[in-house]
Amino acid sequence: MKIFIYILLLLFVSCSIPTKQEGESKIIKRFTTTFKEAQFSKSASFLVHSDKFNLHLTRGEGNILDNGVKTPTDANQPFHIASIGKVFTATIILKLFEEGKLVLSDPISKYLKKESLDKLFLYNGIDYSEKVTITQLLSHTSGINDYFESDSKESKSLLKEIKNKPDKFWTPEELLDFTRTNQSTIAKPGDKYFYSDTGYILLGLIIEKVSGKKFEVVLQEKILSPLNMKDTYVHLRSEPLSKSKKPISTMMLSNIDVTNYKSISADWTGGGIISTAEDLLLFQKSLIEGKIITQQNYKAMRGRYKFMDGIYYGLGLMTVRYGDMLFLMKGSPDLHGHSGLLSTVMFYSPDIDTHIIANMGSTNDISKVFEMMYWISSAVKNMEKLQK
């Protein structure tokens, strides 16, 4: 069924685009169609930008509740970016590395207390906590389990806890305790790729240890303020630089609206950031252009470990190759960036110099967003032919 859908997408994309204006109209229509087909999405926004093609398209769909009043979603509505936040965490780690404040090959035990690492890396009766490096946390190869989605011994995941305990505010230590108490280590350090939010919580603690400041303060000082990202902040832990804090786009865990749940605090440095499409464009462009970390280190972030068919993970960035998902998609532009559980994406294709940023705000619609990204990147590639 999945292959059949991709073939239909491929045939649809292959239709010629006679003019740039019609291409822009079709891209916006594709986003609108994706939102209408989404299973639970209530509020969505997207942005497609290309300096090469003088392209900047934005759109909002659906509605949000603002003080009890239903209002249309703005194209630049703040939204919970979910695991796109890992790119920020990884970037700060690399920034601290460039400043000489840490070494990526260092064991994490150099920065974190023994009790923080207790039983997190216990595999076949052997404690590997002193062997785990910062690089392994960044690349999800440390062997640690994932508190957020991975089922525990009692078939409980933290996603269920978020739904069942909406007033619970999660601290980083409690997140580590969830993995420590309920989950087993996956492998020895360096032996296996396994996506882990728990690992990124440890990176957050390393950032705080090295800097002597709260993560949200470091985020503001090293990224948000220098880039003038006025609408970006850590959810439930800080405020935006903008004087007017806008309501956030609706968040749906399956069919449950968790927008106002304190339990969403469980994301933290694994993805607990609120941002907008325009702010994320500022961030992604600055990252690519070497304005935050060096371009060499940015390129080192790109994917190399297999996450799933066609998606590869590096040091905080995913690389998407649609041609590896289906042979009929060979020749599709590569995309570098990150996706999130709430059907959020922030990707850039150097092949067509195009940024694609979107939010559906629903845990059930990520596959549709990836299909939309494929369609958009292929459409832009077709528009490129108009310039030749």
Look-up of token digits 């304005």: 291
| Radius of gyration for the alpha carbons in the chain, expressed in angstroms and rounded | 20
- Are residues 92 and 77 part of one domain? no
| CB-based contact 61:44 (threshold 8 Å) | yes
Distance of alpha carbon 19 from alpha carbon 2, whole angstroms: 31
- Give the separation between CA 277 and CA 284, rounded to whole angstroms: 10
In a domain, 5, yes or no: no
Burial class (CB in 10 A: 0-12, 13-18, 19+), 141: buried
pLDDT digits (tens, 9 = 90+) for 128-145: 999 999 999 999 999 999
Give the SS3 label for residue 73.
coil
The pLDDT confidence band at residue 11, using thresholds 50, 70 and 90, is very low
Domain boundary among 190, 218, 246: 218
Question: pLDDT band at 68, cuts 50/70/90?
Answer: confident
In the numeric block, which tokens belong to residue 82?
A: 């979910």
The structure's pTM equals 0.95
Q: Are residues 30 and 167 in the same domain?
A: no
Do residues 103 and 155 both lie within one domain? yes
Q: Are residues 368 and 263 in the same domain?
A: yes
Give the CATH number, domain containing residue 332: 3.40.710.10
Closest CA to 216 of 225, 248, 103, 277: 225
Q: Are residues 144 and 184 in the same domain?
A: yes
Which strands make up the sheet holding 273-275, listed edge to edge? 79-80, 273-275, 233-234
Indicate the residue among 160, 190, 218 that finishes a domain: 218
Is 158 domain-assigned? Answer: yes
In a domain, 310, yes or no: yes
Q: Which of 218, 240, 262 is the last residue of a domain?
A: 218
Q: In this predicted model, what pLDDT tens digit does every residue of 185-224 receive, in sequence order? A: 999 999 999 999 999 999 999 999 999 999 999 999 999 9
User: 3-state class of 256 per DSSP?
Assistant: strand
> Is 281 a domain residue?
yes
Instruction: Find, among 25, 50, 2, the residue nearest to 333 by Cα.
Output: 50
Determine the pLDDT at residue 7: 46
User: Burial, 106: exposed, middle or buried (Cβ in 10 Å; 0-12, 13-18, 19+)?
Assistant: middle
Count of structural domains within the chain? 2
Instruction: Work out whether the CA dihedral 101, 104, 105, 111 comes out positive or negative.
Output: positive
Instruction: Determine the Cα–Cα distance for residues 220 and 216; give it in Å rounded to an integer.
Output: 6
pLDDT at 13 over 80: no
Average pLDDT over residues 311-319: 98
Same domain for 24 and 54: yes
309 and 247 both lie in a single domain: yes
Residue 111 is assigned to a structural domain of this protein: yes
Looking at residue 89, what is its pLDDT? 98
Are 153 and 187 found together in one domain? yes
157 and 96 in a single domain? The answer is yes
Q: Are residues 334 and 196 in the same domain?
A: no
- Cα(116)–Cα(177) distance, integer angstroms: 9
For residues 217-233, average pLDDT? 98
Q: What is the pLDDT of residues 255-299, one digit of tens each?
A: 999 999 999 999 999 999 999 999 999 999 999 999 999 999 999
Domain that holds residue 234: 18-82+230-377
Q: What distance in Å separates the CA atoms of residue 183 and residue 192, rounded to the nearest whole number?
A: 17
pLDDT of 8 reads 46
369 and 245 in a common domain: yes
